[in-house]
Homo-oligomer: A and B are copies of this chain.
Amino acid sequence: MRPSMNRPGEPDQHFALDGLDALFEAKSIAILGASSDPSKIGGRPIRFLKERGYAGGVYPVNPNHAEVQGLRAFASLDAVEGPVDLAIVALPTPGVLPALKSCVQHNVRAAVVFSAGFAEMGADGADLQRQIRELARRSGMRVLGPNCIGVVNSKQGVYASFSAVADYMADRSYRSGVAFVSQSGAVGPHCLTVARTRGLDFQTWVTTGNEADIEFADCLAYMAMDDSVKVIAAYIEGCRNGAKLKAALQLARDRGKPVIVLKTGRSTIGAQAVASHTAALVGADNVYDALFEQYNVCRVDSIEELIDTAYACSAGEYPHGNKIGILTGSGGAGILMADQAAGLGLDVAPLPETAQRKLHDLWPPAGVMNPVDTTAQTSNDPKLFEQFLDVVLNEGNYDTVVVFLTYLGLLQPWTVTMTDALIEAKRRSPGSHIVVSMLAAPEAVRRLADENILVFDDPTAAVAAVHRLGQLSSGFAGQPAIEPVAPSVVPAYDGTTLNEYDAKRLLAQAGVEVGAEAIVRSPDDAAAAAVKVGFPVVLKVASTDIQHKSEVGGVLLDVGTAAVARDGYTKILGRVALAAPDARVDGVIVAPMVTGGVETIIGVQNDPVFGPVVMFGLGGVFVEVLGDVTYRLAPFDERVALELIMGVKGSALLQGARGGPSCDLAALAKMLSQVSHFAAANADRIASIDLNPVLALPDRAVAVDALIIPKA
């Protein structure tokens, strides 16, 4: 029995592993709607279970047959003797709920519902689906689907799917260690088929369908807990429960399991423009980027990349750094790979000089820097290739060595000699990481896979995979703790609408530097406050009804004397009274006129699924014209905040580019972290926060303006 992460009364807040073992590791399976025709939906799983040698009990249930596909059939679940772990439901829509109720009565622990006709079909279907959900919640019986393709766990021989691709699952699937979780019924089998064409088997494979009960995150968590799973690949379109997904990703991360995700919906979600300035940039899809960044999830943009990366991870070997050696028999392919490696930030470091000399002596026409080019001699003299390979592996100090062998893997005798050479070289250099780009016969690919040597057709794909392995590796190495330590004081926000002055006071309590400013309610007080603050000052109207102060004439810059401040008070209130006669005015803020430094923006948007997301960007054209911003889920510590800062393309500007100042990055990072803690602690009451601008100065960072918008 696996541990439950459920908390009483919070069924949706954490993933629920209870009963999932009955789905993925079922010891007995009943098929409701069993068909004698092995090509029918209700017949296929029976065929698969038989052909694939499932060891548990298989109980076809069909009132009209005594035998189904050579197995004894049962008129109903009542007739089945002994416990049933898993029920496969392949019935017309109206029969599904009654069937599930009978499952509950017979203590079936989990059910897979293939049948469609539920939430995807409108209100009536949605109501039926809700009843399935409630039944599952009430009874504890877990339900996968409805409207799903099912689940396969080749390790246990559980083939509870009607997808024809189960035929494609190889005998070796059970030991690949790669699990695949898909929210799409079609993308799942498609990926499995693509993977097979390049020699990668999915060990476990599940599609979640309409997610009446079991959700994507539940399956992800199960895979994270399953010791036989080493790599999790996934396809996701959306998530209704951010906390659960976060918890599942946390579990995978804690156990050092790479998660590779293809998430769709960039374009449609990008269209969901929202009103406020920050919100215009925080689309929900960006929130996924922030989530994936935080949990070291590798997000890919295509099925090819998904399969390539899962395949790369399946070897279970990760480079410890980004030094890449390139060994090639083609100068052209070497340059191509070097270009790409450099473009991805890998270090195409030259061989040490002694090694270069050694190679030159072996074969003077060779290129001996990096890429190391054996020339076409590779195919004429396999011994030379071995010698080169040894030198590059042993003396290059590379974290990964990529070997380009063009189409030699398709031709005899090379396919054998090269495969032998690679395997023996790896054995001679334990701990070395070899990735091969070669068109090769499946047998050669399999032999190399058994030695954890990866093979890619395309040299560009090979280098891209090395890059992603390195990112996953450094992500696991560099981020020990997800949950940051909160500052000692995180003030509570009561959800009222605040004027700028009050918003800043609140943020100041959270540790955000806002400058020593005053709020005044008379011309004389304005003059006195200006003297106290120190000239020049800025006067700004304070009003909960006015978000854009400049637009109503509510700002006076560069006030240099007490007299100007006194007049200014009256002038501002006069202009505001004309432009916004209904606005409640709380007074006038007298603030120091902070100049210099680099303008930045800190924003918070409260995502309905994932909670507060912090955005960072540079001011001016960077945010508004270039959209050059970074995101992270709140809360986070200062180290993560620094990643956010350094992640914007214009970050050089904060470090003295173009003759500007070297800003106090530590202070800026601290502010970002503090804002993130404040937002996280008050997530229930905040819609958004906008600190714009925040001036990054050589010795500090100051929030010059602040706006907190409460949740409606």
Within residues 17 to 59 of chain A, which ones have a CB less than 8 A from any CB in chain B? Answer: none
* Chain B residues closer than 8 Å to A164, beta-carbon distance: 411
Q: When the two chains form the complex, which single residue of B184, B266, B342, B652 contacts A333, counting CB atoms closer than 8 Å?
A: B184
Known contacts: A164-B411, A621-B621, A652-B625. The answer to whether A330 contacts B264 by CB under 8 A is: no
Given A193-B410, A266-B343: A120 and B365 within 8 A (CB)?
A: yes
Question: Which residue of B304, B336, B459, B621 is within 8 Å of A460 (Cβ)?
Answer: B304
User: Once bound together, how far apart are the Cα atoms of A22 and B128, in whole Å?
Assistant: 76
- Chain B residues in 8 Å Cβ range of A410: 193
- Do A460 and B407 contact each other (CB < 8 Å), given the known contacts A333-B184, A335-B268? no
CA distance A600 to B330 in the complex (A): 43
- Please tell me if A183 contacts chain B, counting CB pairs below 8 Å: yes
Q: Quick check: B335 and A190 within 8 Å, CB to CB?
A: no
Q: Give the residues from 340 to 357 in chain A that come closer than 8 angstroms, CB to CB, to chain B.
A: 340-343, 348
Write out, one digit per residue, whether chain A residues 401-441 have a CB within 8 A of any chain B CB (1) or not (0).
Answer: 00000110011000000000000000000000000000100
Number of copies: 2
Judged by a CB distance under 8 angstroms, whether A185 is at the interface is yes
Contact residues, A600-636 vs B (CB, 8 A): 620-622, 624-626
**Interface flag for A491 (CB, 8 Å):** no
Contact B184 A460 (CB under 8 A): no
Cβ B303 vs Cβ A460 within 8 A: yes
Residues of B within 8 A of A264 (CB): 332, 335-336, 339
Q: Contacts of A302 on B, CB cut-off 8 Å? A: 336, 340, 458-461
- Across chains A and B, which 7 residue pairs bring their CB atoms closest together, nearest first? A184-B332, A186-B330, A267-B342, A302-B460, A187-B332, A264-B335, A193-B407
Additional 18 contacts, C-beta under 8 A, given A185-B332, A235-B332: A182-B332, A184-B331, A185-B330, A186-B332, A186-B376, A186-B406, A187-B330, A189-B406, A189-B407, A190-B333, A237-B332, A264-B332, A264-B335, A265-B339, A270-B342, A304-B458, A625-B658, A626-B650
- Can you list 28 A-B contacts (CB < 8 A)? A164-B411, A165-B407, A184-B332, A185-B376, A186-B376, A187-B332, A187-B336, A189-B407, A190-B333, A190-B439, A193-B410, A194-B439, A235-B332, A264-B336, A264-B339, A265-B335, A265-B339, A266-B339, A267-B348, A301-B460, A303-B460, A304-B461, A624-B658, A625-B649, A625-B650, A625-B652, A625-B658, A626-B650
